[in-house]
Structure 1
Amino acid sequence: MVDPVGDGLDRSLEGAFTRPVPKSAQARMKYLVKQLKGTRAVAQLLGISQRTVERYVKGQLKRPRPELRDRMEREVRKRWQPKVRERAKQRASTTDGLVLSTRARFGFTAAPGTTDDARVRDITQALPPAWADRLFTARDAGASEQQLQHIAAEGLAEMYFRAHNTRAHGLGVEFSDIDRVDIGL
């Protein structure tokens, strides 16, 4: 399942990492065992046997199946450098904000044939810290991708289409058919 805004937020935080994420299956498995404090918890998390986890830790197994490799990578990235990740979130939410770059269909409530008809646009827009805070807070609270897209659309509506609420008051923006979302801190 692809979550463009949620995944974009995760990738933006990964850009703040100060050390590379473990690459080998053995290093990833050792990291997960250390983080979850045991092989049983890792086995349950990844949906494999405890013995298989032990074999990866010892280096007896080296090449996981593609779906297991992807699960391992996702779980390691999710837990990697939590303090660095938290500092990056804090900085974006209080002082720096973030830059949202997207290619998606944007439209407004308007008469057919006007320039307000929905069309695909490439937009790169800096969003102030308040919008970064809303996005990260919602993501941490378990918001759905639909909710994250709604927050991103509100931020783009305010900053890009309504020019920081200096024009086009009350303009509602529809954000759909997302091709890509890149978020930078």
Structure 2
Amino acid sequence: MSNDNTAARGLLRDKILDGLRRAERTLFTRPAPKSAWARMKFLRTREGSSKSLAERLGVSRKTVDRYLSGVTKKPQKRLQAALEQETEAEWQPQVKAQARQRAASSAGLVISITAYFGFGSEGSDAGRMRDIQVAVSPSHAAAILAARDTGATDSELHDAVAEAIADAYFRVEGGGRAGLKVRIEAVERLDIAF
């Protein structure tokens, strides 16, 4: 596998993970904390100690304590991004778990993507940029979510998404394309909805 292909799959992985995070964010029934103090307080209750929270955020324990006491209020960009990411990861876990369960068992996912789709040797269509919105089956949704949750490699996550789109869009009801191998490259946009 070439370095360009590896980099492209890594970029696709980032877009898939970001799409899943944005999809989960739309499920929240209450807004997540916004201020640095509220986020620190929330994460401190989830983490258990200032020391472990400091390690998780990559800052000193004194920094955490300054935010919790209200002495410091405006974090630097790196800390602000870490607070936002960690808060959203911990926010309303039951809501996210129910949506994942529903997607994997009955509802599936909706994937909207603008990308270059190439095909294996069995395909007759030339590869090209396509704008696709497709509902993928619960079994494919389960595979994508499992790949994300288990820390799958770039290639495994790419293959899970490509297979889901191939089955739902290119191989609809067999259509003589059962062996069609689909590659996704040059992703311009990727949105996922539960």
2:183 maps to 1:162: no
Q: Distance in 2 between matches of 1:164 and 1:104?
A: 23
Q: CA shift at 1:96, angstroms?
A: 0.8
Distance 2:100 2:193 in 1: 11
Residue 79 (1) aligns with residue 90 (2) = yes
Spell out, residue by residue over 1:26-58, the C-alpha distance to the aligned partner (whole angstroms, 9 max, x if none): 000001111100100111111111011011111
- Find the aligned partners of 1:166 and 1:118 in 2 and give their Cα distance: 18
SS of equivalent residue, structure 1 residue 177:
strand
Indicate the larger mover: 10-19 or 91-100.
Answer: 10-19
Overall identity of the aligned pairs, in %: 40
Q: Equivalent of 1:12, from 17, 23, 42?
A: 23
Q: Secondary structure at the match of 2:158?
A: helix
Partner of 1:57, secondary structure, is helix
Normalising by structure 2, report the TM-score: 0.89
RMSD over equivalenced CA pairs, Å: 1.8
How many residues align? The count is 183
In the alignment, the residues of structure 2 paired with residue 164 and residue 15 of structure 1 have an alpha-carbon distance, to the nearest angstrom, of: 32
C-alpha separation in 2, matches of 1:7 and 1:146: 17
> In structure 1, how many angstroms separate the alpha carbons of the residues matched to 2:32 and 2:69?
19
| Distance in 2 (alpha carbons) for counterparts of 1:175 and 1:34 | 41
CA displacement 1:38-96 (0-9 Å, x = unmatched): 10011111111101101111111111001110011111111111111100100111111
Map of 2:126 onto structure 1 = 117
Q: Flag structure 1 segments of 5+ consecutive residues without an equivalent.
A: none
- Structure 2 residue 172 is the aligned partner of structure 1 residue 179: no
Structure 1 residue ranges (4+ consecutive) displaced by more than 4 angstroms after TM superposition = none
The TM-score with structure 1 as length reference comes to 0.93
Higher mean displacement: 18-27 or 171-180: 171-180
**Aligned equivalents of 1:28 and 1:144: distance in 2?**
31
1:128 to 134, 137, 142: 137
Shift of 1:162: 0.9
Q: What is the letter of the counterpart of residue 92 of structure 1?
A: A
> What stretches of structure 2 of length at least 5 have no aligned partner?
1-9
